[in-house]
Structure 1
């Protein structure tokens, strides 16, 4: 009888702590984001202005798109180090097809001014091709994702330099520039594109076979294969989708600066991985959400913007970013260990 009472008492004490732990695990990232916004608004009155907040969202749109793709890849227990370089090659290819006649005809005499849909499709096709190659290499050769995407990172960067002869491709048509500089109902087009693709990614991950199989592969690839899932096919699809998102990010970035440059996207892949990691995507596989990645992207954006407003050196900013990534991974490892 005494033993039963002690056990009931222990359960009663444990239950609230377990509920608190689950609550913190689910909502801690949102609390961190709110706390950061409050601190930054106190340190800099400019932070909470509409212009600055829209600037933060616009700046993070490209990285956010890469982070959406990386999220699904990490959920499958993979990694993508090539997204920044894929962005660069997609940017120079699409920009070369979006030349205005007054400048483009001098560089490409035989190329007429093309409708904006052509460079858009070119960027998406380049991104999808690079992603497909990544996925096929990983699925059919057994190469670790780290090595396969590292190789693609180097190849794609070289391809961007070769295609553009190491020079920026500038003077783009106005309809192309609108993708990065336009606005609809006061919201910048890059932000709207990011919102749309975040919704698409959320639906794919939560309400389709694609997403369910991605979680299954990341949770236990052998069990997923035994249960009849075509693991190779869905790995290829995951990396191809990430490549498409990199192509969209390329459109936004090239249009924003009115130039496709082979040096675009340097270190963007690490920022994307950081945003996903901070957002709670587990590198152990099978765990992660799109909404978490969105908050992670916003945290990285607020951090960078706040440090800029406080005139913190860019060198210190890199160190702070690295520290945030390490802390996020340590937290993820501890949380995964407790749940195991």
Structure 2
């Protein structure tokens, strides 16, 4: 079968393409450890620019002559200058795999990747997807620090320990501006990330269309200091048999990570996940970077179990790619 050349354009959310991308994404992950609901809302959350200042996401697509979307890849800029952007895909429908479409998509995005203002990395790739790892290695991408995919069936089987004294759990108040307190917590919990990632965290979280204030839990001490925050995105799916999901998008813990602080983190996570369960979520999942082991321990204590190791690959520098091809 002869395929047309990929088309490259800026991604525009809210079009019929979102539905096609959702269907393609679900076809590609079905049967793998990262199988989960893929909806147009999830597509938009992944491909929209992560901040107002970020450049538009570039999307490369391949359609059949009949108009069916069979392959796609997207390059999204980071939330802050110098941060890590994401390559989503290449996604190739199972009926059209092993015919060079993934390579053609990657070549279509080669120039934007080479000109990327920061680091470009793949999205999450479960270790079981060995062909995906081999694909990126063959194109001179380099493996980098990994993560762990954790899942749980809801309601959570483990009851959290008693809440430490003088700690209050709550959802955001109507109209509340959390830019400063959440930014301070984010900076303390994620010191390795660029400062704009912390200052923009509140806008980034609430601008995601999956966001609901009921599924954001804030934990304060008696002075009003924000000690922890657990963000969960509930997501339903129209595919029969695919359970609605509670995605733990982030769990921030303010250092020092004492036993009481970890208890607070568990309480916040359990509170946010329970809110998503009341909205219909039947499963919960989280992807926790390997260097955030205390967060993974909090979830394991709540009944989450390890489903798969997750890998990432970083794009090669122009010089390294040129030398590898010589």
TM-score range for the pair, normalised by the shorter chain length: under 0.3
Q: TM-score, normalised by structure 1?
A: 0.19
Which of structures 1 and 2 has the larger relative contact order (alpha carbons within 8 angstroms, sep 6+)? 1
TM-score of the aligned structures, taking structure 2 as reference length: 0.20
Of structures 1 and 2, the larger Rg is shown by 1
More strand by percentage: 2
